[in-house]
Amino acid sequence: MSLPVETQAVSHEEAAPAAVPTARGTAAALRGAGLLAVLAALVLVSLLGVWTGTRGLPFTDVWSALWHPDGSETSIIIHDYRIPRTLLGLLVGAALGLSGALMQALTRNPLAEPGLLGISLGSSAGVVTALAFLGVGSVLGYVWFAFLGAALASAAVYLLGSSGRKVATPDRLVVAGAAVTAVLYAFNSAVLLLNPSAFDQFRFWTVGSLAGRYLDVVYVILPFIAAGLFIALLLGPSLNALALGDQMGRALGVNVNRTRILGAVGVMLLCGAATAAAGPIAFVGLVVPHIARFVVGPDQRWVLAYSMLLAPVLLIGADVAGRLIGAPGEIQVGIVTAFIGAPVFLALCRRRKLVML
């Protein structure tokens, strides 16, 4: 016996809203499963980072030394060189991926990356100053100057972008970042041309590398990156509202100026610490957020989470590839990421429009 027409209509009306939460729950479950898959890939590539190197070691020896350090040569290689290098890759990769996603969301510019606000050149200027004028020669010594340079460059960009009575809009910040970058580039070039010894030391830092960094460098940047990660992940819902425009964001209850200031602080902490420790590494902060959006869509909460895990997979994988391709030497990770990132970015450009929504 069929139901009356009115009863059928009510049944359809009651069933329709229930389908929406079900679809959303399925999408969230798929995204969560994908995030776990990326996390598993990160664990795998980290193990490869500990296993591979310029000196080949059997995996059984590496696994034993990893859990039972005994002071042997293999144990020293694993614990003093490869584990710190892999941990640094994890931190720097996560910082670059998150700072890139944060930059693109704040400026609503799909081509934005951390260097757009002068942070990379600010770090470079700090290193150049330490090398040329203060005689600092160790990585642990000039990492502080690199971070200070990034902080000062970020502050200069924000002050210029909000000069007068105007608000620091994304367009003004980009223009101010271009101006600060030009000045810092001229400063670095002038100092290095007049100081060949500083240039010899600087060129090894500026290529971007994870080699030669020990646990003390990891300990230095860890608090700054942890603070930046907290700020970036906290801003996810606000960034979703800002993607609709400033006016719509305010209508949804978002404090636009506070979000931009916190976002700029987060980018400065993340990119400043990462660049200070490993040097300027190209394309990671630019490409990874696009890959994340391609996988999970425009929701910034998921984009940030995926970028935080995908970027270290790319960075450590590039570091492993550089060691394998360049054996018995190695190719610096900054060179490998440029070779990997450029074609991936071109493929993304051809496959879909670079939009934020």
pLDDT at 40 (0 to 100): 96
What pLDDT score does 9 carry?
44
pLDDT of residue 10: 42
Q: Write the CA distances from 98 to 171, 180, 221, 305, 338, integer angstroms.
A: 21, 23, 15, 8, 18
Mean pLDDT of 190-214: 84
pLDDT at 356 over 90: no
Query: How confident is the model at residue 289, as a pLDDT?
Result: 92
Question: CA-based angle 230:298:272, to the nearest 5?
Answer: 35
Lowest mean pLDDT among 66-70, 85-89, 183-187: 66-70
Q: Which of these ranges, 31-35, 112-116, 225-229, 309-313, has the smallest mean pLDDT? A: 112-116
Higher pLDDT residue, 225 or 150?
A: 225
DSSP 114: G
CA dist 274 and 288 (Å) reads 16
Predicted local confidence at residue 38, as pLDDT:
94
| Domains of the chain in sequence order | 70-350 (1.10.3470.10)
* Burial class of residue 183 (count of CB atoms within 10 Å of its CB; 0-12, 13-18, 19+): middle
**How much is the average pLDDT of 154-176?**
75
User: Tell me, what's the pLDDT at 227?
Assistant: 94
- The pLDDT of 115-139, averaged and rounded, is 83
Pairwise CA distance, residues 46 & 87, whole Å: 8
Of 78 and 351, the one with more pLDDT:
78
Burial degree of 287 (CB within 10 A; 0-12, 13-18, 19+): buried
**Does the pLDDT value for residue 97 go beyond 90?**
yes
pLDDT tens-digit profile of 1-50? 444 444 444 444 444 455 556 767 787 888 888 899 999 999 999 999 99
Q: How high is the pLDDT of residue 52?
A: 85
* Separation between Cα atoms, residue 29 and residue 19, nearest integer Å: 15
Helices (H) and strands (E) in the chain, counts: 15, 0
Structure tokens at 210: 């994870």
pLDDT of residue 11: 47
More confident residue, 111 or 324: 324
Evaluate if residue 81 carries a pLDDT over 60. yes
Query: Taking residues 61-85, what's their average pLDDT?
Result: 85
Q: Which of 162-171, 206-215, 310-319 has the highest mean pLDDT?
A: 310-319
- How far is the C-alpha of 19 from the C-alpha of 341, rounded, in Å? 40
Kindly report the average pLDDT of the chain as a whole number. Answer: 82
Six-digit token pair at 355? 């939009």
Higher pLDDT, 329 or 19: 329
